[in-house]
Amino acid sequence: MRAKLNQWDYLIVTASNEAQARAYESQLKVRQDLGFLSSVRDVMVVPDPGGKRIGSGGSTLYCLMEVLNQQLKRRATAGGPEAWEEILRGLRILIVHAGGDSRRLPAYGPCGKIFIPVPSESDTAIPLSLFDRQLPIYLSLPEPAAGVGQVVITSGDVMLRFEPAEVRFAAEGVTGLSCYALPKQASRHGVFCRGQEDKVKLYLQKPSVARQKKYGAIDTYGQSCLDIGIMNFDATTAVKMLEVFGASAGGHGKLALSGEMGRAVLERGLDFYREICCAMGSEASKSEHRESAQNSGSKWTKNLLA
């Protein structure tokens, strides 16, 4: 008998543009009507603004701002960072990034790779998709302590299999999930350089095998810790990111990105696993952050990364 899933306040699926968002909304509406999303209070689709791709980091910021806009409207208040944190401390938010172009599977471009049918035995009214196979795992991830808040981001175009009950998230800051992989395979993804007690020393994005060796990412068994794309962070971290990238109340009272950093997100795109994650770790430095980000394709300048 399946255990009852933990309650989430928001399930947000991101889309690359308005047309893709409408396709996602129709897919999610079917699943809501069938009762598949009963463990989620609110389901939303958030497209990239103006149909311009802004990356997983930029999309994460827009999702957080959309949640806060809704919550602030209900409270009839504008609020600032303190109000944002108070709101987010009471919410569990799951963000599934699904704004891919389906270049390798163009037939699924309109509905997105996230809703590609996958082989499975099912007696439901709709064929199971990648989304349907992955969602129960994400919804079963552990709850945070009361009053901390929780934001989980993940990628909608991968098939992950793991036991969510075995996951342990840190009480504060960012926790990333990884699996062991050969260094050559890890070189195409994000890599955690482990420190003491599973703390991360450095985060490398698409590092060569030589670079992994240089920074001690490869263990005595010849394996690296490959980032599987699931990141968990608390309300304090979420608000700090919004502040760093210029979130503020716009002309209509809604939160929007502004200033030099906000413009950079919209003009250059912001990849969560590159520009943000490469800045984290107990041994992270500006030079290592810049090198790792730019070597993996970042369009951000030296000054912006700093």
Please measure the distance between the N-terminal and C-terminal CA atoms of the chain and give it in whole angstroms.
51
Q: How many CB atoms lie within 10 A of CB 16?
A: 21
CA dihedral 225, 61, 266, 278 (to 10 degrees): -20
**Res 181: pLDDT:** 97
The answer to whether the predicted template modeling score (pTM) of the entire model surpasses 0.75 is yes
Pairing between strand 40-47 and 92-97?
unpaired
Question: Can you tell me whether residue 231 is helix, strand or coil?
Answer: strand
CA-CA distance, 288 to 203, in Å (whole number)? 9
DSSP code of residue 71: H
**Res 3: pLDDT:** 37
Q: Domain limits of the chain?
A: 1-173+234-258, 178-228+271-306
Residue by residue, pLDDT tens for the chain (306 residues) are: 233 446 999 999 999 999 999 999 999 999 999 999 999 999 999 999 988 899 999 999 999 999 999 999 888 777 799 999 999 999 999 999 996 555 556 656 556 688 888 776 666 667 788 899 999 999 999 999 999 999 999 998 888 999 999 999 998 999 999 999 999 999 999 999 999 888 999 999 999 999 999 999 999 999 999 999 999 999 999 999 999 999 998 777 799 999 999 999 999 999 999 999 999 999 999 999 999 999 999 999 999 999
Q: Which amino acid is at 187?
A: S
Condensed to tens digits (0 to 9), the pLDDT of residues 48-61 reads 998 889 999 999 99
